């Protein structure tokens, strides 16, 4: 099972997107664990080896360099969720992007 983490300012604004991603995964019979957390908790998740891919919410895109410094040494892929997909709550598209990063 792959673990997809979405990180935003407080971990709450991405919860609706997580729900839509889970629905898309269920419809496609994809076995993934998807969770939203505040960016302040990313370091703990990485240290616990609980991340296969990290997606940053557009509102915290300014933290991309900091996340790269944390994740690149552990070969954990990461990206920023597109503003359009985030705004439209396009769970299917964001799930596809996360899975592409894992492969």
pLDDT averaged over the chain? Answer: 94
Secondary structure (3-state) at 38: strand
Catalytic residue set: 8
Phi first, then psi: what are they for 30, rounded to 5°?
-100, 125
Mean pLDDT of 23-31: 97
Q: Determine contact, residues 53/7, Cβ cutoff 8 Å.
A: no
pLDDT given at position 11:
66
- Sheet containing 53-56: order of strands: 32-38, 2-8, 53-56, 78-80
pLDDT given at position 49:
78
pLDDT digits (tens, 9 = 90+) for 33-81: 999 999 999 999 998 877 999 999 999 999 999 999 999 999 999 999 9
pLDDT given at position 103:
84
Q: Determine contact, residues 45/37, Cβ cutoff 8 Å.
A: yes
Measured from the Cβ of residue 46, the count of other Cβ atoms closer than 10 Å reads 18
Whether residue 93 is predicted with pLDDT greater than 70 in this model: the reply is yes
């Amino acid at each position: 099972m792959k673990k997809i983490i979405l990180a935003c300012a407080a971990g709450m604004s991405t919860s609706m997107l997580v729900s839509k991603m889970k629905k898309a995964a269920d419809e496609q019979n994809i076995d993934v664990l998807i969770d939203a957390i505040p960016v302040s908790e990313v370091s703990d998740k990485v240290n616990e080896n609980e991340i296969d891919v990290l997606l940053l919410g557009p509102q915290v895109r300014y933290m991309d360099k900091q996340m790269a410094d944390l994740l690149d040494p552990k070969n954990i892929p990461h990206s920023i969720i597109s503003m359009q997909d985030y705004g439209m709550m396009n769970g299917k598209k964001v799930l596809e992007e996360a899975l592409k990063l894992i492969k």
